[in-house]
Structure 1
Amino acid sequence: MRDKKRSIGLSFAWNGLLEVIKTERNFQIHLFSALTVILASMLLSLSQMEWIIIVLVIGFVFVAEIINSAIERIIDYLRPEIHPAAKVIKDIAAANVLVASFIATVVGFLLYIPKILALFKVH
């Protein structure tokens, strides 16, 4: 019985992830960005630690976007009409994604700029 509950929970989580991928434009943009970053990371031959950092910040952005999407849907369900408090809640949830994306961008610059500069270094 316990294994069945686990597989049901995993099924619900998988359905939620597929829903976000299919319906949330911003998540799709983050997914495309993540794939681009992964490709760049392969081309720049990141170390194991650098890969760990990249995977963590990509995951950080994905989690922020999923939480934002869930909050937006809850607000839309509870308060379908436009309401100032609902707008503030949605704006704060969106700020969560903005901060996560900004941190990921800074981390990317810190990791990639030295490697890109090294490519152009004349020996």
Structure 2
Amino acid sequence: MSDKRKGSLFGFSHAWDGLKAVVRTELNFRIHLIAALGVISAGFVFRLTVLKWIMVLFAIGLVLVAEMLNTAVEKMIDYLKPEIHPQAKAIKDLAAGAVLVSALIAVAVGLFVFLPELMKLFK
């Protein structure tokens, strides 16, 4: 039976396999997950508003998706161009840069959301 005939649940299983693989093989993704759990825990402690939760969850999602896409790009480049090549390096660097930008945005969101909450503690 072809993949298309098995329906949407089969596609979901591929997505789940990809998520399990990135958690299992990518240290940076696991670090981002641990940071996300810390931020989510802090969100409960500070009883964030719905709007702040939305901001935090979107920032977390942005970083995790960027990390997964970076991993996919790196694996694809390694498959297509296993030897060292300046263009392959440039492609990998761009993908890694996207992760950095997403992480910096997440830090900015975190500061915007949590700094006022922390300042309330010291008043």
TM-score calculated relative to the size of structure 2: 0.94
* Letter aligned with residue 49 of structure 2: S
Provide the identity percentage. Answer: 49
> SS of 2:7's equivalent?
helix
Identify the match of residue 71 of structure 2 among 61, 69, 72: 69
1:120 aligns with 2:115: no
* Letter aligned with residue 19 of structure 1: A
Q: How many residues align?
A: 120
Instruction: Tell me how far apart the structure 1 counterparts of residues 44 and 20 of structure 2 sit (CA, whole Å).
Output: 26
- Structure 1: 5+ residue runs without aligned partners? none
CA RMSD of aligned residues (A): 1.2
The 10-residue stretch of structure 1 (67-76 or 41-50) with the greater mean CA deviation from structure 2: 41-50
1:7 aligns with 2:9: yes
- Structure 2: 5+ residue runs without aligned partners? none
* Letter aligned with residue 52 of structure 2: E
> SS of 1:86's equivalent?
helix
Instruction: Tell me how far apart the structure 1 counterparts of residues 68 and 5 of structure 2 sit (CA, whole Å).
Output: 26
TM-score calculated relative to the size of structure 1: 0.94
Alignment match, 2:46: 44
Instruction: Tell me how far apart the structure 2 counterparts of residues 72 and 61 of structure 1 sit (CA, whole Å).
Output: 16
